[in-house]
């Protein structure tokens, strides 16, 4: 039992060290890195009860599928079909410190896929896997064939040395969806707003 406990402790220490390395690496990726993304912090009461215009049931189901497909692709490290989830003007933004600091921003499907691909490669090198758990999604119509939303995201991180996953970070996913001429809903904007407010703290590394 003592030996098992020591091994688990070593595994957790190793995973935290690898996670920190991953965070440092990812923070250096992406394009047009800025100092702040304060404008992307959802204002108080944003999409609160009474301020939401719900989309039609079939549109909500289709959009929820887009969110699910995106996170399943991230967790399975499979980029196949990701482009079909994005509009041609997709923007993927990663923020930390509760939205006060922009870590990276990617514009267009190729740029977004390059960023996510680099991240996946690094996670593979560290033998790390993620589990994105998305919940509490609120969606609201915002013009013709456009819907905005917010989703709570919890990300677990695990490696080959650990029996159990550990919490990596929590965040708000601020989204905009556009319905194409083919009738499909796609992401036009994804902004990951990490909950951590402490500079230098672990969180919202975009995994």
Per-residue pLDDT at 102: 84
Widest distance between CA atoms in the chain: 62
What is the pLDDT at residue 40? 66
The string of pLDDT tens digits covering residues 83-122 is: 899 999 999 999 888 777 888 889 999 999 988 888 888 8
> What pLDDT is recorded for position 200?
45
Q: The tokens 């406990």 sit on which residue?
A: 5
Domains, in order of start, for the chain = 2-194 (3.10.450.50)
Q: CA torsion 181→186→188→193, rounded to 10°?
A: 160
Q: Which residues of the chain have pLDDT under 50?
A: 1-15, 17-34, 198-204
Would you state the pLDDT for residue 59? 98
């Amino acid at each position: 039992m003592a030996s098992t406990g020591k091994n688990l402790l070593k595994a957790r220490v190793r995973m935290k060290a690898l996670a920190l390395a991953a965070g440092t690496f990812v923070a250096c990726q992406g394009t047009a890195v800025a100092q702040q993304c304060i404008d992307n912090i959802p204002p108080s009461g944003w999409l609160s009860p009474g301020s939401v215009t719900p989309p039609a049931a079939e549109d909500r189901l289709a959009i929820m599928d887009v969110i699910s497909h995106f996170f399943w692709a991230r967790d399975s490290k499979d980029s196949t079909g990701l482009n079909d989830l994005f509009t041609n003007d997709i923007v993927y933004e990663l923020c930390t410190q509760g939205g006060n600091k922009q870590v990276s921003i990617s514009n267009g499907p190729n740029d977004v896929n390059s960023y996510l691909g680099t991240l996946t490669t690094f996670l593979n090198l560290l033998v790390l896997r993620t589990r994105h758990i998305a919940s509490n999604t609120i969606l609201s119509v915002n013009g013709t064939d456009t819907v905005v939303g917010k989703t709570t995201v919890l990300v677990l991180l695990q490696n080959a040395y650990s029996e159990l996953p550990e919490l990596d970070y929590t965040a708000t996913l601020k989204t905009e969806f556009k319905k194409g001429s083919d009738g499909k809903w796609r992401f036009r904007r994804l902004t990951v707003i990490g909950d951590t407010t402490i500079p230098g703290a672990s969180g919202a590394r975009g995994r």
